[in-house]
Amino acid sequence: MRVVSGIQPTGNLHLGNYLGAIRNWVRMQDEMDDDSQCLFFLADLHAISQPHVPAELRAGTLEMAAALVACGIDPQRSILFNQAQVPQHAELQWLLNGTARMGWLNRMTQWKDKAGKNREGQSVALFAYPVLQAADVLLYQATHVPVGEDQKQHLELARDIAQKFNNDFASDDAPVFTLPDPIVPPQAARIMSLRDGSAKMSKSDPSEMSRINLVDDADTVMKKIKKAKTDPEPLPSEAAGLAERPEALNLVTIYAALRDMSIDAVLAEHGGSGFGAFKPALGEVLVEILRPISDRFTALLEDREALDAILARGAAQAREIALPTLDATYKALGLVRG
């Protein structure tokens, strides 16, 4: 089993990232056997597909590395690195650009959402972004890719690219690429904004009140939860009663995920309560889980050299795993390299 996943090092790590992806990374790392490997990386190459400030990207990359370690990614057991230190990602992307189809990329919902009506004005990188994402996982022969719901379509594209490449350039008994399986959590695969139950919680939302950052202090967490949009009804006693109440469903989902409970179990405890009582209970669970993460994060950031060393070591390990697949790809395509 080889587990591979990434996160863009832009903005703060938020609760959606944590419950939708990072917590699963840590669980998979902790359950790994001797024959398995976990590779987690900062998708800094993806971050340049949209306008960005170089100094912020540089600082954000180290901060995201610290945040992942603070959440429980152990660089002794997992390979933690940033994409730009492993040039094989960009190299493989170019090789896969010959296989990916424009029509496939045109159908990506993230591309459609981000480009909106202004497709002509977008960078080529934003359009080609899912091909780089395919390269990220195919480069390591990933078998499992833990992600939130919003990345599932990109992983399906990675499978399509792998399959077409294998069909076009490899024999059935010696495929070049493994088809990766997306691993999406049954609960919390899509945490919504605290201000709008129809929009996902996101690093790019201009409103800080829309998300809980993993480094928010206790007062900020309590304030954001208190101000979270809700409705005036008390909580129902069964999940079906949340069907038309997206904001209420989101808060109950967050509570359930944090405490590893089902929605029905949460409602058995809190059904009949109004948000005046439920919100402080949710805030307390959040603070209890976030405080140790935030303390570790602050401590880790004090030793930037140690973080640099973690990333350099991870990149060296990743390059070693990547090379045979990259060589096989060049060879399958008939490219002469001496």
Distance CA 219, CA 277 (A): 17
Distance CA 250, CA 247 (A): 5
Coil vs helix vs strand at 204? coil
Nearest 5 degrees, angle CA 52-CA 53-CA 59? 115
Q: Is 217 annotated as a binding residue?
A: no
Asked about 229 being catalytic, the answer comes back as no
Query: Which range in 70-78, 143-151, 217-225, 247-255 contacts ligand TYM by CB under 6 A?
Result: 143-151
Coil vs helix vs strand at 140? coil
Binding mask 75-114 for ligand TYM (x = CB under 6 A): ----------------------------------------
Other CB atoms within 10 Å distance of the CB of residue 192:
23
Question: Which residue is catalytic, options 152, 164, 203, 223?
Answer: 203
Asked about 200 being catalytic, the answer comes back as yes
Q: Which of 3, 5, 139, 287 binds ligand TYM (CB under 6 A)?
A: 5
Query: Which range in 94-102, 141-149, 225-233, 306-314 contacts ligand TYM by CB under 6 A?
Result: 141-149
Distance CA 274, CA 188 (A): 22
Binding mask 186-225 for ligand TYM (x = CB under 6 A): ---xxx--------xx------------------------
193 neighbors 259 (Cβ within 8 angstroms): no
Residue 8 in contact with ligand TYM, rule: CB under 6 A: yes
Distance CA 323, CA 104 (A): 27
Binding mask 146-185 for ligand TYM (x = CB under 6 A): -xx-xx----------------------------------
Q: What are phi and psi of 286, to 5 degrees?
A: -60, -50
Binding mask 221-260 for ligand TYM (x = CB under 6 A): ----------------------------------------
Site for ligand TYM in 36-65 (CB under 6 A): 43, 46
Q: Is 168 annotated as a binding residue?
A: no
Distance CA 146, CA 31 (A): 14
Nearest 5 degrees, angle CA 157-CA 34-CA 312? 65
Question: Given the complex with ligand TYM, which of 8 and 29 has the nearer CB atom?
Answer: 8
147 neighbors 183 (Cβ within 8 angstroms): yes
Q: Is 163 annotated as a binding residue?
A: no
Q: How many residues bind ligand TYM (CB under 6 A)?
A: 23
User: Which letter does DSSP use for residue 213 in this model?
Assistant: B
Distance CA 61, CA 238 (A): 42
Residue ranges of the binding site for ATP: 8-10, 16-17, 148-150, 191, 200-204
Catalytic machinery residues: 114, 200, 203
What does the binding site for ligand TYM look like in residue numbers (CB under 6 A)? 5-8, 16-17, 20-21, 43, 46, 133, 136-137, 145, 147-148, 150-151, 189-191, 200-201
